[in-house]
Amino acid sequence: MKCALLLSAAMLLPSAAYAQQDHSAHQGHDMPAEQTKAEAPPAATDPHAGHDMGNMEEVPAEPADPHAGHDMSAMPADNSAESDVGDASAPAPPGDHAADAVFGAEVMAQSRKALAYEVGGMGYSLVMLDLAEVGFQKGRETYRFEGEAFTGGNINRFGVKFEGEGAFGGRLDDLELQALYSRAIAPYWNLQAGVRHDIKPDPSRTYLVAGVEGIAPYWFKVNAATFLSNKGEVRARVEASYDQRITQKLILQPRVEANFSFQDISAIGIGAGLSDFEAGLRLRYEIKQEFAPYIGLEWRKQTGDTARFARLAGDDPDTLSVVAGVRIWF
């Protein structure tokens, strides 16, 4: 039995060696097309192979169109682009507030009222002495003051304006008071109406006042008013000034004022037309915004019959003064 098995094994060994030798003999030979068809084509080389793609954001896939395959022909066309804009009335403001459900309607109503007051609706007051100065002329020293006080908000205000002037050791030449209501009519512009009373010169006059006050382009402050007296006399005044900031604290202010009368008022020495004109240049230093001393020059000229009335009273109708004063507000 053992001899038979050994004999069979000896016969198989040469066959296996021959088969291995037969296959190795075809290495490097060109195989027929029929044999290469069965082989899979090599995979294409990845151009990004070996690159680090960890920092790149993943591009989300576009969502599928939910209306894909639907028949949209029956839907009406959108002609909103062709319709007239602005014909429809504005929708009513919402009357419900989500916060009312949490904090209560009464509490939130008070909160909204406080918000409207503090953001543009709050009131405030101001007292300003814009001019408080002494003037040095040839052989004469004068004083002058001009200011205003008001209280109210951004829309409605009530105020008082005052101004006066005279000579040291002499009489008070002019003293004027105005009580005004001011109403905002445009950004930076207010319409004013009220009453003016001139205590000096004698005899005194009372006027109705109507005018505008505001900031013109390029930040010129403008004040224009007309006055109708209790005697039927009509007068007008135009003022303009500009603050040219040289440094944060040093400010140069040119200032002009013109007064007009529509008739001669000989009782107070005013002639018809342009009665007087002022031009001044003041340089102030703001130690604080509320306190600023200044120095400057002031030129004043009376014209026409007003100059004639001034000469008859012994006054100079054309004067140049060196002025020094302080501007205060609180």
The token duo for 311 is 């000469």
Taken in order of first residue, the domains within the chain and their CATH numbers are: 124-329 (2.40.160.40)
Q: What is the pTM of this model?
A: 0.67
Per-residue DSSP letters for 139-200? TEEEEEEEEEEEEE-SSEEEEEEEEEEEETTS-EEEEEEEEEEEEEEETTEEEEEEEEEEEE
**Composition of the chain by helix, strand, coil, percent to 5:** 20, 45, 35
Extract the runs of DSSP E, i.e. beta strands, from the chain.
124-137, 140-152, 156-167, 172-186, 189-200, 205-216, 220-229, 234-241, 244-245, 250-261, 273-285, 291-302, 318-329
CA distance 159 to 179: 6
Q: What phi, psi does 172 have (nearest 5°)?
A: -80, 115
Q: How sure is the predictor about 156, in pLDDT bands with cuts at 50, 70 and 90?
A: very high
Mean pLDDT (whole number) for 166-194: 95
Taking only the tens place, the pLDDT of each residue in 183-226 is 999 999 999 999 999 999 888 999 999 999 999 999 999 999 99
Q: How sure is the predictor about 119, in pLDDT bands with cuts at 50, 70 and 90?
A: confident
CA distance 281 to 322: 10
CA distance 249 to 246: 8
Given a cut of 80, whether residue 309 has pLDDT beyond it is yes
